[in-house]
Every structure is written in C-alpha cells, then in structure tokens.
Amino acid sequence: MDQFNINAGDQLRIGMLPNKTLNGFTVDVISEKGGPEEQQDKQYLNFKALGIIPFKKMAVNVVSPVSVIPGGQSIGILMHSKGVMVVGMSNINDERGNAVNPAEEAGVKVGDLILSVNGKKVTDEFQLKNEISVIGVKKEAELEIKRGSKAVKIKVKAIMCRETKRPRIGLFVRDSASGVGTLSFYDPATKIYGALGHIITDMDTAKGIDLSDGRIVEAHVRAIHRGKKGHPGEKLGMIVEDGSISGSIDKNTRYGIFGKIDALTDNPYFAKPVPVAMSYQIKKGPAEIYTVIEGNEITRCSVEIQDVFYPWNSRGKGMVIKVTDSELIAATGGIIQGMSGSPIVQDGKLVGVVTHVFINDPQRGYGVPAEWMLKEMGLLNDKSLQNAS
C-alpha cells in the first residue's frame, strides 16, 4: 500500500495530494482501529472513481518537520565489503598445461561474496589466497558464500598452477572500493549525514557492496572530464585522508550512504539548518544545486526541476532536473560523475539530491527526494493524521 507523509501542522488539502489525475475522483479520510499495541487509530485516504468505484487506498502519516544543513562538499569514500566479492574468473594452467577453473566448475559465480574458507572468516583477498595455499591441492576448501539473500556452501579443490607454482582456484576477487562523491546534508543534532543519493556498487559486477566498514574523508577536485552525449563526464579528485572532513560509513543503501560526522568543513551558503521538503512540496521550476567544481570550494548553480515522480511510480529516481547554469555547463557539460549527492534546494528547502545523469543528455539527470533519504536514516517520526479537510 502507498504511504503519504505530510508535515505536522499542515492542513491536508486535495490540491497537495501526490496524484495528478484527481478529476473524477473523490477522496475520503477513513480511520481503522489500531491493534492492541498501537496507541492511535490508523488513517487512510480512500480514492474512488466517479465517487463509487474503489481506486486506491493510501496510508497517511503526519511527521515532525526536520531541518538539516545542506552539504555540497566533495568527499572521498573508502569502503570494505563483508568478505571478498568475486569479480571475475581466470583459467589456470595445471602442471600438464591444461586450462581449468576449479571454482567455476564447482559452481562459484561472479558476484558471489566469499565470507569464510573452512570456517575461517575471510576479510581480504590476501587472506583468501593464503588460506587456499595452506589447504593445498590434496584437500577440499569449503567456501561459505552469500549469493543475494541466500547462504550457500561450495567445496572447491585447488590445483597447482604451472606458472606461479602455488595452489589456485581461478578467481579474481576484491575486498574494497573507493571513489569521490558529494556530501548531501547532515543533522547537527545527531551528527548523522547522508551522501550520494544512490547505492555504491562494485564496478565489475554492478552489485551493491555489502558493507563491512568504511569512512568518508576530504577530497579535492583536481580536474574535470566534461560530459557529452553518450559519454558521462567525471570529477577527477584527490582523496585527503588527514583533511578536515571525516566520518563513518554505517549504511550503504539504495538512497545513498549514511553515517556519523566527526569533522566537517562548513557550507558557506548555509549557516543554519533549512527545512526538508516532503515529496508533495516539491514543484516544477527553478532550484539550485551545491557542488564542488574546483579544489574544495562549494559553488551554487541554477537548475530547473522539470518533473516530479512520487514513491509509487519510482525506483529510486524521484525527479528530473536540468542544469541551466551557463558556467556549470561550460565547466562540466552538465551533470557528471562525482556530482552524485549534490543537494537540491528550492524555495529555501532541501528537496533532494542529484543522483544520475541522462547518458544522451548530460544537462539533464535524476534526483532523489530528501524525504526518502530521511526515511532511510530513521529521522522521520510518524504520527497519526492530525488534520484533514
């Protein structure tokens, strides 16, 4: 069932509902008795076509208004996965010169996450290599693997590699990832931050990284590869591990990375927190994004919100934006890699963050509503519907 959040104190009006085809529909506010552990009844909007035909039922929550400080700072992202991820296969020449791949033959697949070998936890690729060497070619190695949401165990028998003279099972693996992105916002009360607006995936498998630990640090933009049709641009950044930004990465989710800030440089445009807009408050029209184009200086750039989607019509992409700032277009061509997470502000409210570029139109891209990120962070406190008309 769809859910619709409104800010506490807002009077619910038909014109603010997230539905563009209300003509011909009636909307009733209905209550249903809560369970024995629930203090308040549940509230719903009941949509009916022609006033009689049930069309949609939508839960309504009133949430306490939230204010955060927008980001815009470039950050270096350093992550380690749980276990090691299989990112490729490599045939091995055995002592007779035959090309074989023991892991693939045993059923190991690209994208698998190897958690342990014969019960011993694996934390990096060198440990996996050493465990296989210790087990040798006479005994089987039992790999504990996470494959999607399933756990499987696969037995593999290594062979002696003709070239390296050591036992191998034929895998390319990776245990870490790093890159440059943009801080989206942080809550000065809790020190919780959000960044990127999308999940971090492995570059070879395109699968989300199952986070073990990670941190964000300061990053400086050293050069720009301009985007053009068919070829996304990117920021070329330098990670400064002992710089003025530091924080943990505690979650890697479909709406970005989240953690706690230990140290952070100020955004000169926002000395105080600004309200976070709910999805229904976002409208088509002018807005601004905040991002770093050179060094570590945050720049304010004009954009236009061209379309707004609502949660039941989206898959992590809540709005379409177009860069209208001539200086940003001249410098970058539009939206480029490394700009993900740049906050979008409209009418003094944080409405969302930049996430993806249109490959064939670099001046346009997607944004994710800040409300969805707040849900992921647990910063929205739902209450029952207080006012309806």
Instruction: Choose among 202, 219, 218: nearest CA to 210.
Output: 202
Cβ neighbors of 213 (< 8 A, separation 6 or more) are 79, 80, 248, 249
pLDDT in tens, 215-247: 999 999 999 999 999 898 999 989 888 889 999
Q: What is the percentage of the chain residues whose pLDDT exceeds 70? A: 80
pLDDT in tens, 87-106: 899 899 988 888 999 999 99
Distance between alpha carbon 303 and the CA centroid of its chain, in Å? Answer: 22
Q: Quote the domain boundaries for residue 24.
A: 2-65
Pick the residue with more confidence: 41 or 239?
Answer: 239
Cβ neighbors of 118 (< 8 A, separation 6 or more) are 131, 135, 141, 142
Q: Is pLDDT of 60 > 90? A: no
Catalytic site residue from 81, 340, 342, 356: 340
In a domain, 42, yes or no: yes
Instruction: Choose among 313, 255, 282: nearest CA to 2.
Output: 313
In a domain, 54, yes or no: yes
- Whether 95 and 131 share a structural domain: yes
3-state secondary structure of 318: coil
The DSSP annotation for 326-360 comes to HHHHHHHSSS-BT-TT-EEEETTEEEEEEEEEETT
User: What is residue 389's predicted lDDT score, i.e. its pLDDT?
Assistant: 27
- Whether 59 and 104 share a structural domain: no
- How far apart, in whole angstroms, are the C-alpha atoms of residue 67 and residue 245? 21
- DSSP letter at 20 equals S
Give the burial class of 110: count Cβ atoms within 10 A of its Cβ; 0-12 exposed, 13-18 middle, 19 or more buried.
middle
In a domain, 364, yes or no: no
Q: Is pLDDT of 54 > 70? A: no
The mean pLDDT of 127-145, rounded to a whole number, is 92
Pick the residue with more confidence: 306 or 8?
Answer: 306
In a domain, 262, yes or no: no
User: What is residue 268's predicted lDDT score, i.e. its pLDDT?
Assistant: 94
Catalytic site residue from 175, 184, 198, 356: 198
User: What is residue 25's predicted lDDT score, i.e. its pLDDT?
Assistant: 57
> Is the pTM higher than 0.85?
no
The β-bridge partners of 220 are 238
End position of a domain, from candidates 135, 169, 203:
169
Ranked by mean pLDDT, which of 195-209, 225-239, 291-305 comes out on top?
291-305
User: How many domains does the chain contain in total?
Assistant: 2
Q: For 29-65, b where at least 16 C-beta lie within 10 A, e where not — what string? A: eeeeeeeeeeeeebbbbebeeeeeeeebebbbbbbee
- Whether 105 and 144 share a structural domain: yes
- Whether 115 and 154 share a structural domain: yes
Catalytic site residue from 112, 175, 187, 325: 325
Mean pLDDT of the chain: 84
Strand 251-253 and strand 246-248: the pairing is unpaired
Task: Mark whether 340 is an active-site residue.
Answer: yes
pLDDT band at 163 (very low <50, low <70, confident <90, very high): confident
Task: Mark whether 198 is an active-site residue.
Answer: yes
In a domain, 15, yes or no: yes
Give the burial class of 335: count Cβ atoms within 10 A of its Cβ; 0-12 exposed, 13-18 middle, 19 or more buried.
buried
The DSSP annotation for 34-49 comes to --TT-SS-EEEEEEEE
End position of a domain, from candidates 28, 50, 65:
65
